[in-house]
């Protein structure tokens, strides 16, 4: 088995991105709220590009119904999602720093969990949880940017999933229409497209704004 040292991993990323971009990403801390179809895939993308630290939070376990779109494996069924995510991310980049918090997020604990994160990805399935996180961060964390998602259920119409800047501190990904409340299924194809949009928006912010 071929192994990369920390220095070799760094050199590989610098070769891909250039040193200036590498340093910005390496110095960054990003929060991920929810480790389902969006969050587990956003985390993989950010680790692959070289973001230095993630703060990830979820309270759930890996269930069979998760495997159709979430970045987990059959062998991880029943595992805590935070621990399973850390296990998977460390296989991609053993040198990334990850703070995992196994907790159900609410308005009282969100500011403490993500206090060191200038950007938080909102990666919940349910509309009320999405609203709670966005309102809590925008209301209580005056400098934190939220990259959220709404409207990614179903299949097809890939180009209707877009990234929109709603305000200086809120970016929204999705088509803002097709959600699970319409009885549509969450499928890997569209969910991963939306997760890619979220990760791409975060990387753009890290490179251009910080």
DSSP secondary structure, 90-142, as one string: HHH-TT-EEEEEES---TTTHHHHTTT-SEEEE--SSHHHHHHHHHHHHHH-T
Structure tokens belonging to residue 59? 């309270």
8 A C-beta contact, residue 31 and residue 113: yes
Separation of alpha carbons 83 and 72, rounded Å: 11
CATH of 25-209, one of 3.30.70.120, 3.20.20.120, 3.40.50.720, 3.40.50.12590: 3.40.50.720
Note the pLDDT of residue 184.
58
pTM over 0.85: yes
What are the contacts of 170-174 at 24+ separation with CB within 8 A? 170/134, 170/138, 170/145, 170/146, 171/145, 171/146, 171/147, 171/201, 171/205, 172/148, 173/147, 173/148, 173/149, 173/197, 173/198, 173/201, 174/149, 174/150
Q: For the chain, which residues score pLDDT lower than 70? A: 1-2, 154, 178-184, 187
């Amino acid at each position: 088995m071929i192994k990369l040292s920390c220095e070799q991993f760094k050199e590989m990323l610098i070769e891909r991105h250039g040193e200036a971009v590498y340093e910005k990403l390496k110095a960054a801390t990003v929060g991920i709220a929810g480790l389902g179809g969006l969050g587990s895939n956003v985390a993989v993308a950010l680790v692959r590009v070289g973001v230095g630290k993630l703060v990830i939070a979820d309270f759930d376990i890996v269930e069979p119904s998760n495997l159709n779109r979430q970045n987990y494996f059959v062998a991880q069924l029943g595992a805590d999602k935070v621990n399973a995510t850390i296990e998977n991310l460390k296989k991609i980049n053993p040198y990334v720093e990850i703070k995992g918090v196994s907790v159900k997020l609410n308005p009282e604990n969100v500011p403490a969990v993500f206090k060191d994160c200038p950007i938080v990805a909102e990666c919940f399935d349910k509309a009320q949880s999405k609203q709670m996180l966005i309102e809590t961060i925008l209301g209580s964390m005056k400098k934190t940017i939220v990259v959220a998602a709404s409207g990614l259920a179903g299949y097809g119409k890939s180009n209707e999933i877009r990234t929109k800047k709603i305000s200086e501190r809120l970016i929204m990904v999705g088509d803002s229409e097709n959600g699970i409340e319409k009885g549509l299924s969450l499928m890997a194809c569209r969910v991963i497209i939306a997760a890619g949009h979220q990760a791409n928006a975060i990387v753009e912010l890290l490179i251009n704004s910080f």
